Amino acid sequence: MSQRDGLASQCSAPTQTSTLTSVSPASQPAGSNTIVITGTNLTMATQFQLLGNSGPAATATTVSVNAAGTKLTLLLNTSGVPNGTYNAWLSQVSCSPPVPCPGYLPNAYTVTAAPAAAPPEQYTAVNPARILDTRSGLGAPKATVGPHGTVTLTVAGKGGVPAKNATAVALDVVAINPSAAGYLIAYPAGTTRPGVADLNFGAGQTVTNLVVVKLNGGKISLYNAGSGTLDLAADVAGYYTTKTGATFTATSPQRILDTRSGLGAPKAKVGAHRTVALTVAGEGGVPSQGATAVAVNVQALSPTATGSLTIYPNGTSRPSTSALSFTSGQDTAALAVVRLVNGKVSIYNGSSGKLDLTADVVGYYSSGGATFLPVGPTRVLDTRSGVGGSGQTVLPHAAAVVPVTDVPALANASVTAVVLQVTVISAQHAGTLTAFPDQTNVPGVPTFPFAAGHTVTSLEVVPVVNGNVDFYNGSSGTIQVVADLLGFYAQ
């Protein structure tokens, strides 16, 4: 990661002997991967190599270093390197491995087989349908979910998802009235739980976020990583298969609704229990015919009461689902993927107060776009630890630049967009985050807002132009950013 308009990397030759104490991760599939090494006197001029029995096997490129010179992020290309365990060496340190020296670490890194390419998948949007509610016993026992508790949910055959052939599901997951702050992890049932967050919540705060989860045996698991209890709900938005469905066309964010200005709806706040019918076909880059669903970032602005939005196909019965939950007085955004009927979607204010609404198109589904390929989840950015070439906060009005196509699964694909769970942490001041393709102008519409001191996670679809994605901090303070790659669209 680099920072635009922020801290520039300084390159200088090492003046003291560098030491090497660890390599993390210590094992990765063959391909282009990010690693973080720790030691002392590390600089942007540090030269890192993997050594095999016959000499150097791979060389890394430096990305960034922390101010103390103890943590260096590198891009290590092991494409074509045989599987096995290798020694790590800082080649500028004067010694002759394997003789012990401060810049040499034996058996430090293992190259495993590159993952098999996943088959491309297509998407079918459905009318939103609730398939889980622990308050009523729908889909799971009628009971709050305890600290570090897991709910295993059958998805296949539920909520419009076919009983067979569905490979992944798009769900709006709702954390309801948690007794302590924490986060949720959604993952395929029966598999190792990943160390990523799909939804963050504060004590007493009901939060909704869209997740895309691969199915295993037709099921997924939802893990409460918090120290308190909570209820859970989940609403199906659509599903993926390798057989049939629609493909995706990513667009630059284009605003098609703003009730503050009268764009797409009357210039007026949306009243309690009122609905906005929004025309999507022919707007914001969506074709006037042929689009079956739309991906849209929706914001609830200045709500006067706590509540939720239901976003559903126009002309259909309003379901008892939630696509976005909000707290009185707090701006909130969420990505929604909605089936189009009559070229429109409906947005219902389920609160007892008024609010303004915006909606920004980020893509649409039709017969002529890109197919989806799931990966990971794979962490591509964590400014706290250095993953993604970071190790520093994102400065005010600066952008973190992250190479998303360095993930091996994306290396040879014609990537048009990536699907990311993006989290803002430790914000000093309230503001907005904008995710957009590198080497393009910062869009005039932000991706999602955040409040000072709050942790916010949101699923985002971001077009890819040159292999990099930028995350622009639109606040007057620093923030930390984490991004986990869930999949990508490719032609």
Tokens of 44: 């942007």
Quote the pLDDT of residue 73: 86
Q: Tell whether the model's pLDDT for residue 32 goes beyond 60.
A: yes
pLDDT score, position 9:
35
Q: Which residues contact 192 (CB under 8 A, 6 or more apart)?
A: none
pLDDT for the residue numbered 8: 34
Same domain, 169 and 58: no
Q: Does residue 91 fall inside a structural domain?
A: yes
**How do residues 65-112 score in pLDDT, each as one tens digit?**
888 999 998 888 898 899 999 999 998 776 665 566 888 999 999 999
- Cβ atoms within 10 A of the Cβ of 368, count? 11
**279 and 360 within one domain:** yes
| Per-residue pLDDT tens over the stretch 212-248 | 999 999 999 999 999 999 999 999 999 999 989 999 9
Let me know: does 376 contact 484? Beta carbons within 8 Å: yes
In a domain, 117, yes or no: no
Cα 455 to Cα 198, 334, 427, 482: the distances in Å are 12, 14, 8, 11
- Whether residue 329 contacts residue 302, with contact meaning beta carbons closer than 8 Å, is answered with yes
Clarify whether residues 129 and 229 are in a common domain. yes
Phi–psi pair at 341, nearest 5 degrees = -130, 130
Residues 442-456 as b/e (b if ≥16 CB within 10 A, e otherwise) read ebebbbbbbbeebbb
Residue 484, domain CATH: 2.60.120
| pLDDT for position 163 | 96
Return the pLDDT at 96.
64
- Spatial separation of the C-alpha atoms in residues 312 and 289, rounded to whole Å: 19
Q: Name the domain boundary from 241, 260, 279.
A: 241
Local structure of 395: helix, strand or coil:
coil
Q: Which is more confidently placed, 391 or 54?
A: 54
Which of the listed residues 112, 131, 146 is the one where a domain comes to its end? 112
355 with 380, same domain?
Answer: no
Residue type, 51: L
Give tens-digit pLDDT for 346-400.
999 999 999 999 999 999 999 999 999 988 788 888 888 777 765 678 999 999 9
Please give the Cα distance from 73 to 366 (Å, whole number): 40
pLDDT digits (tens, 9 = 90+) for 432-449: 999 999 999 999 999 999
Q: Are residues 321 and 404 in the same domain?
A: no
146 & 209 share domain = yes
Judged against a pLDDT cut of 50, whether residue 419 lies above it is answered with yes
Mean per-residue pLDDT of the chain? 92
**pLDDT confidence band for 10 (50 / 70 / 90):** very low
Q: What percent of the chain shows pLDDT beyond 90? A: 78
Does the CA dihedral 263-264-266-271 come out positive or negative? negative
Q: pLDDT band for position 7 (50/70/90)? A: very low
Q: State mean pLDDT over 397-406.
A: 89
Residues 269, 319: one domain?
Answer: yes
Count: domains in the chain: 4
Q: Residue 202 sits in which domain range?
A: 122-241
| Same-domain pairing of 474 and 419 | yes
Query: Is 8 inside a domain boundary?
Result: yes
Mention every residue, 6+ apart, whose C-beta is less than 8 A from residue 166: 155, 156, 215, 218, 239, 240, 241
CA distances from 328 to 209, 301, 353 (A): 18, 10, 9
Query: What does the alpha-carbon distance between residue 318 and residue 316 come to, in Å, rounded to a whole number?
Result: 6
Whether residues 437 and 484 fall in one domain? yes
Cβ–Cβ < 8 Å for 200, 457: yes
**C-alpha distances out from residue 18 to 51, 101, 118, Å:** 18, 10, 41
The reply to whether 362 and 381 lie within a common domain is no
The pLDDT value given to residue 6: 39
Mean pLDDT across 299-318: 98
**CATH no. for residue 75?**
2.60.40.10
Mean pLDDT of 451-469: 95
Amino acid present at 314: N
Q: Name the E strands within 155-292.
A: 166-176, 182-188, 199-201, 207-214, 219-224, 231-241, 247-258, 275-279
Share of the chain above pLDDT 70, in %: 95
449 shares a domain with 462: yes
**107 located within any domain:** yes
Whether the Cβ atoms of residue 98 and residue 104 lie closer than 8 Å to each other:
yes
| pLDDT value for 97 | 59
Residues 6+ apart with CB under 8 A from 308: 206, 208, 322, 323, 324, 325, 326, 350, 351
Residue at which a domain ends, from 349, 366, 383 = 366
Is 475 within the bounds of a domain? yes
Residue 288 in domain = yes
What is residue 13's predicted lDDT score, i.e. its pLDDT?
40
pLDDT at 28 over 60: yes
Whole-number pLDDT of residue 385? 74
Q: Looking at the structure, do residues 279 and 181 belong to the same domain, yes or no?
A: no
Q: Longest Cα pair distance anywhere in the chain, in angstroms?
A: 76
Assess if residue 430 is contained within a domain: yes
Within 8 A by CB and 6+ apart from 225, the residues are: 148, 182, 183, 184, 185, 197
